[in-house]
Amino acid sequence: MRRNLPPLNAIKAFEAAARHLSFKDAAAELLVTPQAVSQQIRVLEDWLNLPLFARQNRTIRLTPAGALFLPVVSQALDDLEASAARLVAHREPEILTISAPPSFAIRWLIPRMERFRAAVPGLDYRLTTTVELPDLSSGAIDVAIHWKDAGNDPDLRSELIARSDLVPVCSPGLIADGMIVGPADLLNYPLIRHVGDPDLWSSWFEAALGYPVEAPNGPQFGSDLFSVEAAANGQGICLLAREQVVGDLETGRLVIPIERTLAQAGRSYLVYPKAREHEENIAAFRNWIFSEVAQDRRAA
């Protein structure tokens, strides 16, 4: 059924003018001219076929019909305003879905995400963790952080966030009875590897010794987070970015058995669909994370 309602702009003009008993003050409230208010009220009076105001020189007063109509209009506008405010307050927030490796998420990203929420009001986030690059084509994940460059995929934009030097770390108890004076001494211990990049130790030894060696076997994990825990429990030595284990080094839970690094071997990339690179939420996250990384560099 089609509703037979008076024009809303005319209703608003009438209600404001009736409250103020002034077209001028109503116009100031509605950000229009007094002539526009007067015209809207005439539209309403014509629609009702009733005078709502008695005009005397430069003053106005409500007619009996106007006085009856005002409380009905005021209540209707109050109800509409309150209902709209409730809907806005309870609307579903915009959510950016982020995927990251577990260790990166726990040790770097999560402690900073309140700053992201403060920097981008109205945008919330959902965080999932995986060591693999997730499928970004379905739209279920908006952006991913990954340790390998996805630039070979023509549908993805892959941007280097940061490079890190890798250092050997282990439990102090593991090396308590040994003597480590040079890189070759680490060959006497189990070496923990990442299943996605098992040759890192070979690269470290070649860089540290100047020639290739066959590194001994050790446990393999799909996440740096698991490698940290294994190292802390004395299961071997692992190669990690120093910033990943800064807290463990400060507390003595982990130590660096020898200060030799594999330069720039640890990398983190921000990956997202090329087709979505100009979307406001993705651009906001991109700008924020690069700002955080730049802040880290300045503090280092």
Class of domain 164-264: alpha beta
Quickly state the pLDDT bin for 9 (edges 50, 70, 90): very high
State the fold for domain 8-89.
Arc Repressor Mutant, subunit A (1.10.10)
Quickly state the pLDDT bin for 168 (edges 50, 70, 90): very high
For the stretch 40-82, pLDDT in tens is 999 999 999 999 999 888 889 999 999 999 999 999 999 998 8
Can 94-163+267-299 and 164-264 be said to share one CATH topology? yes
Among 19-23, 31-35, 193-197, the minimum mean pLDDT is found in 193-197
Q: What is the pLDDT at residue 158? A: 93
Q: Which residue has the higher pLDDT, 182 or 138?
A: 182
- Report the pLDDT averaged over residues 261-286: 89
What's the chain's average pLDDT?
Answer: 88
Which range is most confident: 83-87, 189-193, 221-225? 189-193
- Structural domain boundaries of the chain? 8-89, 94-163+267-299, 164-264
Q: What is the pLDDT at residue 237? A: 95
- The tokens describing 154, both together, are 């023509």
pLDDT at residue 91 tops 60: no
Quickly state the pLDDT bin for 212 (edges 50, 70, 90): confident
Ramachandran quadrant class, 134 (left: phi over 0; alpha: psi -120 to 50; beta: rest): beta
**Nearest by Cα to 184 from 113, 258, 268, 79:** 258
CA 161, CA 143: separation in Å to the nearest integer? 13
116, burial (CB in 10 Å: exposed 0-12, middle 13-18, buried 19+): buried
State the fold for domain 94-163+267-299.
D-Maltodextrin-Binding Protein; domain 2 (3.40.190)
**Nearest by Cα to 272 from 119, 100, 126:** 100
